[in-house]
Structure 1
């Protein structure tokens, strides 16, 4: 870092040294340390902001942002205002975003409006977009935008819940007006006037809202922006929230498109939508509360949907700890809902492959057990399971041990578990051997007639092991993901 700084002072290798100093500061987080060492003399940087090489100016500005010295803020602002090279104006703003830019707030808003009006060439368009994005970043940080409050809990709303494709009915039957539900390929669509009763359902992955009166989007990004801006999207958002202020959004495109096509569509549509909505909708790289999701169909058109982050999803807030092999909480919740008729109140429940405790926690949601025990060979998993269970207010005992070494003086009534997969154990032979040991182990810890709920991505292996052992009979099998081959098997010990 000292070498780069000396070069800048001597005027040697300015472009490489400015870039090197910027990257070194970011890598080591040493901006404030350097500022102290310079003891208020930043003339080497302020002079280079006037250098003829735009890349020198750009990287020096970014260095000044990392220093965090208030005296440099007006210098950066003046340099930004006089900068004529479009492609580096955004970098001055990135530097300024490290400071409180309240004195420049009105000028920032005026510049955003100016950029909407100016005519640009196709080559200039991306640089203008970058400057607009950087201006919004500064604006968001400076204004400390108040969050919108969702208030439409008892308004009449059309809702789409995304769910497991194999078990759409499991969610549909939990709605209090199931006859008004329409099943989609990967979800359920319905109308409700009581969202408070819908939100706690644990078997959906996402809650989305169709835009009233707008089923499909088509045409150029400008055409689609006009369709959105003149639709009921803004009235719907305003109806659902009490604050009268712009909505910060992000665009998500899910369609069969090349990555570069998606990026181009998102940039052009976001910019056009801001203009067409008179900036009541603002695209934000961070701090957004609304996701506008465009789902492509076979005809090349898009279904527009809204995801509202103003609706806080706290269903699985206990799951702060996880492992790469951990089951998704919504999958564990679906499994327990599917097998609920085989679970009973007051049961003593064991999970011999408990991981971070998700299966046991979700088992507790369905019927209150008298005891929950989790065993795992990984100490890290047990530690995380204890934390998750504490946050879920579920009383469980977790033991760090290989399951075959764990026994208890009282037999268990139920065993619920997410069995290790062949992919995790590297080969089919090892998972078959593990499943055999698991089935041999159950009679040592469970009473006769005990219920076992086993989730496995290797159903064929488990089914073969069950048939070989002969001490079990299968009560029910549920396919969770046909493509992945994952199933839940409910069986009993004779």
Structure 2
């Protein structure tokens, strides 16, 4: 059905609500939106008149359509209708529509309304709708009035830190801490005190840095009670002690729990609003541009461990990773592979990656220990182009070639081959993978120096081990489980020939 047909039915007052709903859905398509704009030719009266309709759902859908038309001239009219609106579940939709217009002139009014709602005592029945209105207002205010992020200043403070790591190889990260550091092993990471946070930031084998809130170990109770525990139990004090700048701090809340999704989402919304209120809006919830994540991790007893993840701490170690592919290895994993193979790698090595993807393995190899030359090969042109972007950002000289490894020739041999091998599911079944791995091992014998090393990450370790047993020149130097669920492993082979 065309936009003109819906418009005609709305003008005739035929089933107005349903036709508005269907028209609203239709103009999500840009071509249909253009068709409606052409049809009304700047005259929005068919919809503005409906903002006074006795049916609140008619008003709701009419104002949402006006918002979709993104006409700045409508901003004051929508605001006036918003102020006149008495039905709570509709009010947030007026603000959502306003957000699609240029309405900077309304910023003082938006702030006043936001403050009024934040201080308002609401009933249980009102809470859901007031919460939605606050979130919509907050997003619109931040569109025009986002303050600068706070600057982290606590690098030399005595801080308790949690580093999330590969659960099978936590000791690799522990070994990079100062020798006197007392470490508590967690199931997925390590916990310790430090006054040298800048040194910790240089470690490349952890995936996340989290901060426990001093003096606050567990939360329990209602959303309001847990918000009080957070705000008055040390969270704001911790943030203020470790940052320059004045409140508010912009946050998002994440809950890690086995509870049903709808229940978890409801808890996040209620707690976020309660945190804002309890902190007198020194903590402000936002879905984008936030400075910190408040993460609540449920324990077996159903209570929550509160942790903070700070985006105010600059972390540049993987900033080169601009381009990725679905099959790309994570940089923290690539760094872990190099650390696990560490004693077998050599300084100033000539290094080759025959399935280089976006270059992460080679970049992390170069970061681990200086190399003489690095070559990356991939049959996929897109991968090579992405690898070049990442490598330029990493400022590391790597030669990339868009070619099939099995057709590649070079004037000298390599000391090391480091690679993320194709696995089952990457357009490969077990049989074709067996053939590929066999060809890889055969070809690599011709590319390696005697006593050269292969560092291979694979999600099909049984196939690789089965194949390399067919080549007596390969010696298995090391095998490490990376992820039990995925059956992924790192295998380090030495190529050795007796002369």
* TM-score in terms of structure 2 length: 0.94
Instruction: Give distance in 1, aligned partners of 2:289 and 2:427.
Output: 41
Alignment of 1:203-218 (within 5 A): 203-218=205-220
In the superposition, relative to structure 1, how do residues 113 and 387 fare at CA in structure 2: closer, same or farther (>3 Å)?
A: closer
CA contact (8 A) 2:252 2:290 kept: yes
CA contact (8 A) 1:31 1:68 kept: no
Alignment of 1:311-326 (within 5 A): 311-326=313-328
In the superposition, relative to structure 1, how do residues 483 and 414 fare at CA in structure 2: closer, same or farther (>3 Å)?
A: same
Instruction: Give distance in 2, aligned partners of 1:102 and 1:380.
Output: 42
Alignment of 1:185-264 (within 5 A): 185-264=187-266
Partner of 2:354: 352
Partner of 1:266: 268
Q: 1:319-363 deviations in whole A, cap 9, x for unaligned?
A: 221111111111001111221221122211111111111111111
Instruction: Give distance in 1, aligned partners of 2:34 and 2:294.
Output: 39
Partner of 1:402: 404
Instruction: Say whether 1:79 aligns with 2:73.
Output: no
Partner of 1:453: 455
CA contact (8 A) 2:181 2:193 kept: no
Shift of 1:37: 6.7
In the superposition, relative to structure 1, how do residues 193 and 445 fare at CA in structure 2: closer, same or farther (>3 Å)?
A: same
Q: 1:103-130 deviations in whole A, cap 9, x for unaligned?
A: 4444434433443454544343211211
* TM-score in terms of structure 1 length: 0.94
- Secondary structure of 2:346's aligned partner: coil
Q: How many residues align?
A: 494
Partner of 1:444: 446
In the superposition, relative to structure 1, how do residues 37 and 243 fare at CA in structure 2: closer, same or farther (>3 Å)?
A: farther
Partner of 2:382: 380
Instruction: Say whether 1:393 aligns with 2:401.
Output: no
Partner of 2:137: 135
**The 10-residue stretch of structure 1 (80-89 or 368-377) with the greater mean CA deviation from structure 2:** 368-377
Instruction: Give distance in 1, aligned partners of 2:427 and 2:20.
Output: 50
Shift of 1:14: 2.1
In the superposition, relative to structure 1, how do residues 29 and 304 fare at CA in structure 2: closer, same or farther (>3 Å)?
A: farther
Shift of 1:454: 0.9
Shift of 1:178: 4.6
Partner of 1:289: 291
Shift of 1:32: 7.7
In the superposition, relative to structure 1, how do residues 178 and 419 fare at CA in structure 2: closer, same or farther (>3 Å)?
A: farther
Instruction: Give distance in 2, aligned partners of 1:17 and 1:258.
Output: 35
Which of the numbers 292, 313, 337 marks the counterpart of 2:339? 337
CA contact (8 A) 1:274 1:283 kept: yes
Which of the numbers 456, 462, 480 marks the counterpart of 1:478? 480
Q: 1:161-207 deviations in whole A, cap 9, x for unaligned?
A: 11111111111111225532222111111222222111121111001
Which of the numbers 277, 280, 301 marks the counterpart of 1:299? 301
**The 10-residue stretch of structure 1 (281-290 or 100-109) with the greater mean CA deviation from structure 2:** 100-109
CA contact (8 A) 2:72 2:103 kept: no
**Gap regions ≥5 residues in structure 1:** none
Aligned Cα root-mean-square deviation (Å): 2.0
